Amino acid sequence: MTVAEDQRLDAMFSALSDPTRRAIVVRLAAGDATVNELAEPFNLSLPGISKHLKVLERSGLISRGRKAQFRPCHLELQALDVAAGWIEENRRLWSERFDKLDQHLRNLHEPPNGDRHE
């Protein structure tokens, strides 16, 4: 994983650490929505919801229409794929770590190549 990808994941995880923002992501998974449509169910003021949307937008998880009058919010599915890929990376990390630990434990038991000099 590159440093840039890592930073992007940090931003995504940080964005998703808030329950309101997670709920917004769930809502957007069902389809695009305007700021007003998002503010209503969460009982948030427009500045309040805008703050959350800015965090989500910076993380790359959502994008917002440039032309449309109400700038609808759109969930970036490929950004979620990056996060799903992280799960696979994490699995690989522990597998490889454990492979090395296994080898390390064997080396402790008997020196590599059968050498036995003290």
Q: State the minimum distance, in angstroms, from the CB of residue 106 to other proteins.
A: 8
Q: Binding segment for other proteins among 31-39, 66-74, 96-104, 110-118 (CB under 8 A)?
A: 96-104
Q: State the minimum distance, in angstroms, from the CB of residue 47 to other proteins.
A: 25
- The total of other beta-carbon atoms located within 10 Å of residue 39's CB is 19
Binding mask 9-38 for other proteins (x = CB under 8 A): -x-xxx-xx----x--xx--x---------
For residues 9 and 102, give the distance between their C-alpha atoms in angstroms, rounded to a whole number.
30
CB 4 within 8 A of CB 39: no
Is 97 one of the binding residues for other proteins (CB under 8 A)?
yes
37: tokens are 């449509």
Q: State the minimum distance, in angstroms, from the CB of residue 114 to other proteins.
A: 18
